[in-house]
Amino acid sequence: MTPSLHLLVNGVRREGAVPPTERLLDTLRWRLNLRGTKEGCRSGACGACTVLIDGRPRLSCLTLSHQVGEAPILTVEGLESDPVGRAVLETFVAEAALQCGYCTPGFVVALTGLLKEHPGATETTLLEGLQGNLCRCTGYSSIRRAVTRLSEPKR
């Protein structure tokens, strides 16, 4: 049985039949063709699949699409249209805070969520908030530089 589902993804209402136990990660990637959200571990441990649901960072690999309900979903594809998301993207580019880029959607989405939840967050808060996101190639220093810049008070 594939009950029908409505999702609000990046401001667009999407609709379709989705099996009851399908993960949001799979619905986004394989039904909605939003391949920016990545699958790393599929077990909650790497953060590559992070999306915002109701503005809060969530792991799409451990969320059933049918559990989301009416709540708006923001994926990496929608970050540009969000002012906080855009600032995060620009800072990652300015600091070249990526190498292969596989972990990057998770990092920028998680950071956007953290900055929205804690406007003016300190560097420590942001770094602690990113502890659930793993990167296997940058060595983290460029990501840290981006975080430092994002935590500086805007003049």
Closest among 13, 17, 124, 31 to 66, alpha carbons compared: 17
Task: Kindly state whether residue 56 participates in binding other proteins, applying the rule CB under 8 A.
Answer: yes
Q: Beta strand pairing status for 56-59 and 72-74? A: unpaired
Q: Could you give the CA distance from residue 37 to residue 43 in angstroms, rounded to a whole number?
A: 15
**What would the two tokens of residue 76 be?**
């990496």
Pick between residue 53 and residue 97 the one whose CB is nearest to other proteins. Answer: 53
CA distance 129 to 100: 22
Residues that bind ligand FES (CB under 6 A): 39-42, 44-49, 59, 61, 98-103, 135-138
Contacting other proteins within 72-91 (CB under 8 A): none
- Options 29-37, 83-91, 108-116, 137-145: segment touching other proteins (CB under 8 A): 108-116
Rounded least distance, CB 61 to ligand FES, Å: 3
- Phi and psi angles of residue 45, each rounded to the nearest 5 degrees, phi first: -100, -5
CB 63 → ligand FAD: shortest distance, Å?
10
State which of residues 10, 27, 104, 133 lies at the interface with other proteins (CB under 8 A).
133
Kindly list the distances between the CA atom of residue 117 and the CA atoms of 11, 56, 93, 144, in Å, as whole numbers in the listed order: 19, 7, 23, 19
If the CB atoms of residues 1 and 152 are measured against other proteins, the closer one turns out to be 1
Contacts of other proteins in 10-39 (CB under 8 A)? 20-21, 23
- What is the smallest separation between the CB atom of 1 and other proteins, expressed in angstroms? 7
Does residue 132 belong to the site contacting other proteins (CB under 8 A)? yes
Q: Give the burial class of 81: count Cβ atoms within 10 A of its Cβ; 0-12 exposed, 13-18 middle, 19 or more buried.
A: exposed
Nearer residue to other proteins within complex by CB, 94 or 139: 139
- Does residue 50 touch other proteins according to CB under 8 A? yes
Confirm if 79 and 89 have CB atoms less than 8 A apart: yes
